[in-house]
């Protein structure tokens, strides 16, 4: 059984597909989605193939006190309408391509890789001896928080800066983010070489 968690990557964030699993050609048995489905209102969903649902219902009796409440359903439907009406998936593709190019232009001796799809990015850092720059990225996250940008770390060694801007992110927001990131990298105690972005 394959379960695809689309909480962070779904709803058009990749810019090319509504679900990230479609982008890589995966056909999961179950898809889960939560927080962004209603823009912060507490709602989540689990989508299943007919066969998976049939097997589940034959094996278990399912009950949910708050499942399908009308307020949460209305909030989720409103978000889906905005995604469609404002064509935010195409927006994610265009703005994401611009942001990815700007991130790839950043020069830093420990920046080993920049990757992304739509509005989902990873900037991987390693030291001069090619070891994961885990502590460096942890400090970088904190510096960016103080500059007004929320982000996190990801990866086996937590040495990849994970950026997942909101779907309405615009080119002026990209400019502000890149400027703050270059400032933060310049302020970092190691390495001492100048940062360009």
| pLDDT reported for residue 191 | 58
Tens-place pLDDT, residues 67-88 = 778 999 999 999 999 999 999 9
Of the three residues 85, 101, 120, the one that is the final residue of a domain is 85
| pLDDT reported for residue 69 | 86
Interatomic CA distance for residues 57 and 123, integer angstroms = 43
Instruction: Note whether residue 98 is domain-resident.
Output: yes
Interatomic CA distance for residues 7 and 76, integer angstroms = 13
Instruction: Note whether residue 194 is domain-resident.
Output: no
Of the three residues 32, 67, 85, the one that is the final residue of a domain is 85
Quick check: 192 pLDDT over 80? no
CATH number at residue 116: 3.90.1150.10
Tens-place pLDDT, residues 76-127 = 999 999 999 999 999 999 999 999 999 999 999 999 999 999 999 999 999 9
Only one residue has tokens 């800066």, namely 161
Q: Which residues pair with 60 in a beta bridge?
A: none
Interatomic CA distance for residues 16 and 5, integer angstroms = 18
Domain span at residue 21 reads 3-85
**Residue 96 sits in the same domain as residue 167:** yes
Only one residue has tokens 């060694």, namely 157
Model pTM?
0.85
């Amino acid at each position: 059984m394959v379960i695809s968690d689309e909480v962070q990557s779904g709803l058009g964030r990749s810019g090319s597909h509504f679900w990230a699993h479609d982008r890589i050609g995966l056909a999961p048995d179950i898809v889960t989605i939560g927080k962004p489905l209603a823009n912060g209102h507490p709602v989540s969903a689990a989508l299943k193939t007919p066969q998976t649902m049939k097997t589940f219902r034959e094996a278990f009796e399912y009950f949910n006190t708050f499942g399908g409440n009308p307020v949460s359903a209305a909030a989720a439907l409103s978000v889906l309408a905005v995604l469609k009406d404002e064509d935010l998936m195409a927006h994610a593709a265009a703005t994401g391509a611009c942001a990815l190019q700007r991130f790839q232009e950043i020069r830093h001796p420990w920046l080993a890789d920049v990757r992304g799809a739509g509005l989902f990015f990873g900037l991987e850092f390693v030291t001069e001896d090619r070891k994961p720059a885990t502590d460096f990225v942890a400090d970088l996250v904190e510096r960016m928080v103080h500059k007004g940008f929320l982000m996190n770390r990801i990866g086996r060694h937590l040495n990849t800066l994970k950026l997942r801007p909101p779907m309405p992110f615009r080119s002026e927001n990209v400019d502000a983010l890149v400027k703050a990131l270059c400032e933060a990298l310049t302020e970092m105690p190691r390495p001492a070489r100048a940062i360009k972005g």
